[in-house]
Amino acid sequence: MPETTPPTPPSPLPADLLAALRAIVGPRGLLTDAADTAPYSSDWRGLYQGRAAAVVRPADTAELAAVVRLCAGLGVALVPQGGNTSMVGGAVPAEDGSQLVLSLARMARIRALDAVDMTLTIEAGATLKAAQDAAAAQGCLLPLSIGSEGSAQIGGILSTNAGGNNTVRYGNARDLVLGLEVVLPDGQVWEGLRRLRKDNTGYCLRQLFVGAEGTLGIITAAVLKLVPQPRETAVALCAVASPEAALELFTRFQRHDPAAIQAFEYMGGEGVGFVLKHNPGLVLPLAAPAGHYALVELATPRPDAGLRGTLEQVLEGALEAGIVQDAVIAESAAQRAAIWRLREEHTEAQKREGASVKNDVSVPVSQVPALIRDAGAACRRLMPGIRVVAFGHMGDGNIHFNLQQPEAMTAADFLARDHEIMDCVGAVVRALDGSFSAEHGIGRLKPYMMAAWRGGAELDLMQRIKRAIDPAGLLNPGKVLP
Ligand code: 2HG
Ligand code: ZN
């Protein structure tokens, strides 16, 4: 039988909505053809296939606010979307075609950069990379670095409170925000783009929108803190005997010069193996593959800090003590980049290796080795042959405790047990006083876990805040809250 395309179901939207939207954003600002809206309707992990009724792409805050006002009046739900790099389906619309995707991509201007105040005022649709480049051009550093920085946008970064590789030193996205401009669910614009280092004037509203995943308002611009650009950077890749040894190495760097640690990442041997397998151009710059690795980056804005000497001194001591088995220090920017690629290619390599279940979890830093050991044992008991790919931000306690399908199992059979696997890891994380979502957020994947982890007064308060700010529930429905 020839294959036929199923007919598109009728749109459940008010009849004159599209014309009214076009009048606000113009023809360039509205996508309605299925081929044009398709990339905005699913997430890159392929977990969800939604159907956007249309994609609205306002050019500025006034247009965006007019769109929100219009939709509020008609009771139409909006799904804000940045670079669509969510790990938890945080930016996909529902399947029934009743929701509009609101893309921030055309709002990508740099409004101001002040190298005395050390602030960057930037619109939500700019990519993180563009923001980093703008800061670097003025001799400053925007101290946030994540694997998807070429596509992830500032609005999404803030709405999810992204973390990444430098949290150990500079904190999460929320620690970098001085001010915000936000379009509220009724279309009002909150102009909170202040760039003050001190401002105790009632509730700290900006932090309400950071990490709210677009359920309380739409961030349209932000004032971000910058720091001085490092003058010196030193990177090493170390083979270590165990996660305990990796933690001991971290502790030694902390004791030696805590202010210099720019990143401290852990990688299990299995994940590095996948990275090498799927990137034939990459080589492991060590004598032999190991079971565990630590990647350490030191950086300083001080002249003549002698970081290289610090790195050598700490590593020599650790080698002598048997904590580090082998280590290589990058001799050039190219080598530094090659070492970092061994870390940053994990996500893509896991995708190529087959189906995986991700657990973006955190525990107190001291408990990271216990997490890796206990969760590994629990998962292997649950599903013999399961492959553990644990890696991530050891210095801040956030490990991506990911599981890869057993070689002898189909992807579908493996993924059918995703909740079971997440709950298995979750039990270990809970016993260690950790969190079930460290930096990727809740999105559409994890609201079902909220009651068990954040129930009682905490969830009740969140639900009351949601009802107070978005009583009709039109902003990013079905995300975050159960
Ligand atoms: C990273 O740290 C990202 O590379 C992605 O948070 C982690 O793929 C993942 O699970
Ligand atoms: Zn991460």
Confidence of residue 172 (pLDDT cuts 50, 70, 90): very high
pLDDT at 12: 76
Number of Cβ within a 10 Å radius of residue 23: 12
Identify which of 224, 297, 234 has the alpha carbon closest to the alpha carbon of residue 263: 297
Q: What is the mean pLDDT of residues 378-387?
A: 98
**Is there a shared CATH topology between the 17-103 domain and the 232-346 domain?**
no
Separation of alpha carbons 149 and 457, rounded Å: 36
Q: Which of 360, 388, 393, 421 to mutate to test the pocket of ligand 1 (most atoms within 8 A of CB)?
A: 360
Closest residue CA from atom 8 of ligand 1: 347
Residues 6+ apart with CB under 8 A from 291: 241, 242, 268, 269
Question: ∠ CA(242), CA(247), CA(249), 5° rounding?
Answer: 95
What is the 236 CA–ligand 2 centroid distance (Å)? 19
Number of Cβ within a 10 Å radius of residue 139: 11
DSSP string for 300-353: ESSTT--HHHHHHHHHHHHHHTTSEEEEEE--SHHHHHHHHHHHHTHHHHHHHH
Closest residue CA from atom 5 of ligand 1: 347
The CATH number of the domain covering residues in 17-103: 3.30.43.10
Q: Please work out whether the CB of residue 454 comes within 6 Å of at least one atom of ligand 1.
A: no
Long-range contacts of 199-206 (CB under 8 A, 24+ apart): 205/180, 206/177, 206/179, 206/180
Q: Which residue is listed with tokens 């970081």?
A: 307
Q: Please work out whether the CB of residue 147 comes within 6 Å of at least one atom of ligand 1.
A: yes
Res. 436: pLDDT tops 70: yes
Burial 314-343 (b: 16+ CB within 10 A, else e): bbeebeeeebbbebbbbeeeeebebbbebb
Q: Please work out whether the CB of residue 358 comes within 6 Å of at least one atom of ligand 1.
A: yes
What is the 347 CA–ligand 1 centroid distance (Å)? 6
Q: Does domain 354-441 have CATH number 3.40.50.2300?
A: no
Q: What is the mean pLDDT of residues 17-30?
A: 97
Retrieve residue 105's tokens.
């991509």
What is the 358 CA–ligand 1 centroid distance (Å)? 9
The CATH number of the domain covering residues in 232-346: 3.30.70.2190
- pLDDT (tens digit per residue) in 223-236: 999 999 999 999 99
Res. 33: pLDDT tops 90: yes
Q: Which atom of ligand 1 is nearest to the CA of 393?
A: 2
What is the 393 CA–ligand 2 centroid distance (Å)? 6
Q: What is the mean pLDDT of residues 210-218?
A: 98
Q: Which atom of ligand 1 is nearest to the CA of 147?
A: 4
Q: Please work out whether the CB of residue 443 comes within 6 Å of at least one atom of ligand 1.
A: no
Specify the CATH number for 110-228; select among 3.10.300.10, 3.30.565.10, 3.40.630.10, 3.30.465.10.
3.30.465.10
- pLDDT (tens digit per residue) in 242-269: 999 999 999 999 999 989 999 999 999 9
Q: What is the mean pLDDT of the chain?
A: 96
Rg (CA), the chain: 23
Residues 6+ apart with CB under 8 A from 160: 86, 90, 173, 211, 213, 439, 440, 441
Q: Which of 145, 146, 344 to mutate to test the pocket of ligand 1 (most atoms within 8 A of CB)?
A: 146
What is the 450 CA–ligand 1 centroid distance (Å)? 21
Q: Please work out whether the CB of residue 347 comes within 6 Å of at least one atom of ligand 1.
A: yes
Confidence of residue 2 (pLDDT cuts 50, 70, 90): very low
Q: Which residue is listed with tokens 């690795």?
A: 293
Domains of the chain, residue spans: 17-103, 110-228, 232-346, 354-441
Q: How far is CA 480 from CA 66, 182, 361, 451, in A?
A: 25, 19, 16, 11
The answer to whether the beta carbons of residues 466 and 481 sit under 8 Å apart is yes
Retrieve residue 247's tokens.
């933690």
Q: What is the mean pLDDT of residues 182-190?
A: 98
